[in-house]
């Protein structure tokens, strides 16, 4: 027990426990720590288990400016600071509060904002006809599910899955893996909004024998469109079927599954939208219907021919197989291949 915790006011203590229960807040804390380390420490080393840098209490070794013996340990039961030079140790909240009060304030106000937004979204997400008992139960179930989502970087099986599919590390490092409960054996793809808060998630089975392949957050009136809040609506927004494919396409959103309605009211937010659906039977059939309605769709046949690539079923497969080694579909690459010409319909038969 660090000495700091003993003199914290009670309200702060209660807050601390609820704070650490939330994935959103853990992310806030982690990003605030990175922020501090980038700003005030020159030489920082990070692994999945700790940050290592020169101790800010004792100033670390006087003889060698390269020695760094201050650690932030990312322990599952709570992160803490420890110096192997002066022996100083402190809970992470105390370390931040006493050494970097401005950052700490920033972190706390982020947590409070998360809390307000949570309360707000619970008010709006749950239909009024449900009674109070159901409301409490839904909220409870949801929070106990979220507790089973763990930082993906600790799970080789999930990291390998993402690496094998060439998903950029800066994208998948914000995802999760679940090894117990309802979402056991699934990669959890969170849908972040523009405030770095998760509004939805999709669980994709990666352990063998887990059925169905996809399982998602349950609830009514949830926005299940990936990247919905993160695209530039003044630009063309490219609509895909799956979140993983969307990680390889500039300014794109993903509907979860081709059978989901394309005329969802939510989609009205995008005035300039076009469709890059899977290169399979379903995707082509849907593309044809869209062309008939005057919508722009992606012409896979022409695209694969120009890029001298064998047939692929979706964007991810293209990224893995294309001979030019393209890792992202930029506007420049994609733009020439969208069509809403009636005469191109033969490409989709």
Q: Which residues bind Zn ion (CB under 5 A)?
A: 55, 57-58, 83, 85-86
Q: Characterize the bridge pairing of strands 237-240 and 252-254.
A: parallel
CB of 33 to Zn ion, least distance (A): 17
CB of 59 to Zn ion, least distance (A): 7
CB of 87 to Zn ion, least distance (A): 7
CB of 67 to Zn ion, least distance (A): 11
- Quick check: helix, strand or coil at residue 120? helix
CB of 57 to Zn ion, least distance (A): 4
Query: Which tokens is 167 given?
Result: 């998903």
**Residues, the chain:** 349
Query: Residue by residue, what is the 3-state secondary structure of 4-17?
Result: HHHCCCHHHHHHHH
d(CA 138, CA 28) in angstroms, rounded, equals: 25
Output 35 or 85, the one with its CB closest to Zn ion. Answer: 85
Output 97 or 186, the one with its CB closest to Zn ion. Answer: 97
Output 23 or 37, the one with its CB closest to Zn ion. Answer: 37
Output 85 or 223, the one with its CB closest to Zn ion. Answer: 85
Phi, psi (rounded to 5 degrees) for 329: -85, 100
CB of 88 to Zn ion, least distance (A): 5
Phi, psi (rounded to 5 degrees) for 188: -105, 115
Residue 249's DSSP bridge partners are 329
Output 85 or 122, the one with its CB closest to Zn ion. Answer: 85
Output 58 or 205, the one with its CB closest to Zn ion. Answer: 58
Angle among Cα 20, 26, 29 to the nearest 5 degrees reads 110
DSSP 346: G
Measuring CA to CA, how many Å separate 311 from each of 269, 307, 321, 326, 349? 33, 11, 9, 15, 15
């Amino acid at each position: 027990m660090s000495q700091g915790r003993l003199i914290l006011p009670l309200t702060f203590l209660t807050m601390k426990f609820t704070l650490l229960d939330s994935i959103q807040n853990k992310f806030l804390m982690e990003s605030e720590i990175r922020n501090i380390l980038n700003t005030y420490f020159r030489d920082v080393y990070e692994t999945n288990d700790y940050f290592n840098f020169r101790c800010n209490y004792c100033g670390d070794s006087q003889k060698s400016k390269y020695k760094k013996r201050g650690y932030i340990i990312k322990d599952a039961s709570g992160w803490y600071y420890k110096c192997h030079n002066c022996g100083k140790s402190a809970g992470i909240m105390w370390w931040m509060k006493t050494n970097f009060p401005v950052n700490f304030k920033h972190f706390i106000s982020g947590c409070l904002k998360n809390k307000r937004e949570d309360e707000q979204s619970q008010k709006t997400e749950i239909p009024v006809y449900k009674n109070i008992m159901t409301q409490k139960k839904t909220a409870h179930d949801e929070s106990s599910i979220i507790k089973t989502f763990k930082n993906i970087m600790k799970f080789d099986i999930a990291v390998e899955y993402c690496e094998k599919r060439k998903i950029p590390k800066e994208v998948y490092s914000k995802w999760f893996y679940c090894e117990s409960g309802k979402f056991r054996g699934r990669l959890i793809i969170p849908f972040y909004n523009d405030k770095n808060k998760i509004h939805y998630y999709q669980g994709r089975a990666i352990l063998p024998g887990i059925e169905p392949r996809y399982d998602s957050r349950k609830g009514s009136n949830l926005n299940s469109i990936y990247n919905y809040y993160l695209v530039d609506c003044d630009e063309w927004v490219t609509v895909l079927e799956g979140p993983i494919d969307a990680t390889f396409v500039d300014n794109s959103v993903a509907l979860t599954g081709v059978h989901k309605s394309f005329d969802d009211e939510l989609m009205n937010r995008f005035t300039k939208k076009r469709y890059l659906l899977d290169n399979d039977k379903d995707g082509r059939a849907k593309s044809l219907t869209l062309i008939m309605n005057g919508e722009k769709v992606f012409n896979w046949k022409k695209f694969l021919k120009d890029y001298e690539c064998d047939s692929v079923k979706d964007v991810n497969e293209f990224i893995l197989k294309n001979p030019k080694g393209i890792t992202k579909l930029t506007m420049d690459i994609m733009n020439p291949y969208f069509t809403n010409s009636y005469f191109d319909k033969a490409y989709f038969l």
